[in-house]
């Protein structure tokens, strides 16, 4: 079975979600709403939304995913020879996405220091597209869901690496410190006269909610459940024709695909063609 973001969107439309808690929490599968959201997104991609047999669900995961995720490192999962997916749970519609030590990715590289060895070696790859999924969950109800690829959302890695380098260079100008390289911004050793105290320096990255970022092409209608996806046209056309035709053939009156122009993250004055896909009910 092959899967991708278009088939996942089709499943969201064809099988609207109820309460996350009713689907996942309390069934000995997850113990938090955040984990329930991630599980739901995995089921959307794997086609296991209605699967009640956990062994069958796990076998399907093994069939379609090459990497199942790690709590402290991006991404949350990777499709076999396909996209990486990062899921973020938000508690209010205007909340920002907290990315912690990892800056936002336009694409994911296998040599990224923030990913695990297992992620790096699960299959042969150098770089892959990363899809950000932002879900607003209030009182265990999923009210908003937004899909956007990093290439349409985040600047190139050099933009963020420059900031990291400038911070490190500034720290190194402090006299009489012992600086050590780490996966974070760095570490200063032997701060005190005894040489037993150290200071970890880490970034806490965040990025605006994609609904806010793309408010110039998408205005939420204020419905009980609101789904939106922004996919640049070049990426959209790379998906199999059968998946595009399946999505475009959906007859639900609450589902819409529109042609829009979006800003290029590295140069906002430059516009590119994209698809805005919405499902609000």
pLDDT by residue (tens digit) across 106-154? 999 999 988 999 999 999 999 999 999 999 988 778 999 999 999 999 9
Average pLDDT of the residues in 67-92? 93
Give the per-residue pLDDT at 19. 73
Q: Is the pLDDT of residue 93 over 90?
A: no
Do 84 and 73 form a contact (C-beta atoms < 8 A)? Answer: no
Half-sphere exposure of 56 (CA within 13 A, CB side): 7
> Which backbone phi and psi does 127 adopt, to 5 degrees?
-150, 155
Neighbouring CB atoms inside 10 A of 227's CB total 23
Give the pLDDT of residue 30.
Answer: 54
User: How many percent of the chain have pLDDT more than 90?
Assistant: 71
Sequence spans of domains, the chain: 5-155+205-280, 161-200
Residue with the bigger pLDDT between 204 and 66: it is: 66
Do residues 182 and 203 touch, judged by C-beta distance below 8 A?
no
Q: Give the mean model confidence (pLDDT) for residues 165-193.
A: 87
The C-alpha atoms of residue 248 and residue 277 are separated, in whole angstroms, by 10
Q: Is the pLDDT of residue 29 over 60?
A: no
Helix 5-14 × helix 241-248 angle, to 10°:
30
* pLDDT higher than 70, residue 21: no
| Cβ-Cβ contacts under 8 Å for 118 (sequence gap 6 or more) | 67, 70
For residues 60-75, average pLDDT: 93
Q: How far apart, in Å, are the Cα atoms of 25 and each of 40, 56, 140?
A: 11, 19, 9
Chain Cα centroid distance, residue 260: 22
pLDDT in tens, 227-266: 999 999 999 999 999 999 999 999 999 999 999 999 999 9
Give backbone dihedrals phi and psi of 77, rounded to 5 degrees, phi first.
-165, 165
* Percent of the chain residues topping a pLDDT of 70: 95
Encoded tokens for 197? 């105290």
pLDDT of residue 31: 57
pLDDT at 22 over 70: no
């Amino acid at each position: 079975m092959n899967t991708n973001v278009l088939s996942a969107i089709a499943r969201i439309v064809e099988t609207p979600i109820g309460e996350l808690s009713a689907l996942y929490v309390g069934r000995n599968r997850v113990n938090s709403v955040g984990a329930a959201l991630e599980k739901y997104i995995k089921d959307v991609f794997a086609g296991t939304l209605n699967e009640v047999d956990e062994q069958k669900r796990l076998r399907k995961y093994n069939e379609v995913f090459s990497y199942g995720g790690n709590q402290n490192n991006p991404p949350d999962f990777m499709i076999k020879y396909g996209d990486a997916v990062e899921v973020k749970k938000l508690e209010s519609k205007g909340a920002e996405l907290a990315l912690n030590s990892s800056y936002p990715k336009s694409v994911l590289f296998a040599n990224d220091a923030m990913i695990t060895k297992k992620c790096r070696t699960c299959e042969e790859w150098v770089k892959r597209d990363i899809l950000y999924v932002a879900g607003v969950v209030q009182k265990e109800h999923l009210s908003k869901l937004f899909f956007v690829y990093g290439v349409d959302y985040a600047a190139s890695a050099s933009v963020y690496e420059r900031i990291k380098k400038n911070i490190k260079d500034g720290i190194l100008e402090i006299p009489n410190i012992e600086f050590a390289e780490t996966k974070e911004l760095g570490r200063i050793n032997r701060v005190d006269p005894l040489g037993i105290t150290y200071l970890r320096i880490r970034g806490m990255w965040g990025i605006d909610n994609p609904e806010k970022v793309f408010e110039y092409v998408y205005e939420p209608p204020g419905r009980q459940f609101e789904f939106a996806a922004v996919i640049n046209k070049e990426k959209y056309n790379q998906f199999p024709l059968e998946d595009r035709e399946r999505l475009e053939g959906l007859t639900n009156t609450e589902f819409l695909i529109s042609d829009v122009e979006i800003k290029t993250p590295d140069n906002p004055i430059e516009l590119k063609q994209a698809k805005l896909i919405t499902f609000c009910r």
